[in-house]
A and B are shown apart, each in its own frame.
Chain A
Amino acid sequence: MRYEAGSVVRHRRHRGRVRRCARPARPGGRAVRRRRAEAHQRRFPRRQQAGLGPCGRSRHVTGILEQYGYGELSVTVTVHGTQITNVSVPVLRTAEPYSQQLAAQVLPMLKSEVLAAHSARINTVSGATYTSQAYADSIQSALDKLHLK
């Protein structure tokens, strides 16, 4: 799985903000919506699900155990309305310790809120001490260049 720069994963830290469904309601009563949902399910069957809930309640969807080359993992995605609110890895079995170590670094990327630095209005970046070499590639370096123009 890869996250592109600029993607934003909504995070629980936005306290107090009421989540509303992103999709507007389509015309038709409850029966019509149920028939539509059943038709959708027949066309796009899910491997496992906790059942469709009304918009506003969380659903958990777990994929099957997949072999990814260095071991196997399955991923559970929690969806609230149409927004992914959490991703977790209930099963991760790796062939050897190096892969486990790599996985420990890669998996947390799925959870933390990601803000694209280029679209944020900031004066500077605070981070762990970068080397002079790493500075060249850093966001701070880009900011400094902007100000020097």
Chain B
Amino acid sequence: MGTVFSFAIVTGTLAEAAVRAAIASACGILHRCDAVFSTWDGTSPVSRFRRGEATLSQMPPEFHQVIEECRAAKRASDGWFDPWAMPGGFDPTGLVKGWATERALGVLRDTGVPGALINGGGDVAAFGSPANGQQWRVGIRHPWRPDALAGIVETSAAVATSGCYERGPHLIDPRTGQAASCAASATVTGPSLTLADALATGVAVGGDEALPAVSRLAGYAAYLIRADGSETSTGGIEFVR
């Protein structure tokens, strides 16, 4: 996926060997997802599917799961997240990283540790507490200052951010199929990183027009920094700074 995954695990009483085994298993899931969904690898299942060289029935189980998640996310985002509107065919990249991270977190949860957090290239999935019943504190990167934050939110689940300051204008407007005028930064918080990832992509593209879709979803909130530096958010984003 061309990025870095960071793990933070509150080990509790779990032995170190067991924790390391869990991390290895989680990484295995991430590598597997990369192998299935990398659009940079011409031999991956998703690339073959996009070129029409393989049918849906030939796709691995992960692919079917992701398609279902994409259908739900497209509905939930009022179409601002639409993997079927991408150039070259169906492209679930805007959701896969969040989905893979959530699955990897599930492995850590199964070990019974009191808390864990995985940051997959800027998308965060977590459970439990870092210490003493506190919540995980997530800084939101400032879009124009790599050494600074635009705000800090507390989460017990997921925070996803989308924007164009790292990779340039790479987002597509589903209405036109062309490069979208991108918000500076779009952050979505909520119970599921899979959906939050897709919604953040949608808000980065749709801007203010995509916010009502997030407002309608129970437990989800969005924070938008527009290209001109102005900001807005849906109800439910609680900044601690």
A48 within 8 A of B: no
A13 within 8 A of B: yes
Which residues of A are found within 8 Å of B152, using beta-carbon distances?
115, 120, 122
B106 within 8 A of A: no
Shortest Cβ distance from residue B56 to the other chain A in the assembled complex, whole angstroms: 27
Find out whether the CB atom of B161 lies under 8 angstroms from the CB atom of A126.
yes
Known A-B contacts A108-B228, A115-B152, A139-B147; the reply to A130 vs B164 at CB < 8 A is: no
Find out whether the CB atom of B124 lies under 8 angstroms from the CB atom of A124.
yes
Which residues of B are found within 8 Å of A83, using beta-carbon distances?
none
Docked Cα-Cα span, A6 to B42, in Å, equals 45
Which residues of B are found within 8 Å of A124, using beta-carbon distances?
6, 8, 117, 119, 124, 136, 138-139
Docked Cα-Cα span, A116 to B141, in Å, equals 10
Which residues of A are found within 8 Å of B148, using beta-carbon distances?
5, 114-117
Size bracket, chain A contacts = 35 or more
Residue of B nearest to A122 (CB): B139
Size bracket, chain B contacts = 35 or more
Known A-B contacts A3-B145, A112-B143; the reply to A128 vs B163 at CB < 8 A is: yes
Find out whether the CB atom of B144 lies under 8 angstroms from the CB atom of A108.
yes
Residue of A nearest to B97 (CB): A129
B184 within 8 A of A: yes
Which residues of B are found within 8 Å of A104, using beta-carbon distances?
227-228
Some 22 contacts from A to B, beta carbons below 8 A apart, are A13-B231, A106-B144, A111-B229, A112-B144, A112-B229, A116-B148, A117-B139, A121-B137, A122-B137, A122-B138, A123-B136, A124-B124, A125-B138, A125-B149, A126-B187, A127-B140, A129-B2, A129-B3, A129-B122, A131-B3, A135-B3, A138-B146
- Interface of B toward A, CB cutoff 8 Å: 2-4, 6, 8, 97, 117, 119, 121-124, 130, 136-152, 159-167, 184-185, 187, 225, 227-231, 239, 241
- Interface of A toward B, CB cutoff 8 Å: 3, 5, 13, 104-118, 120-132, 134-135, 137-141, 143-144, 147
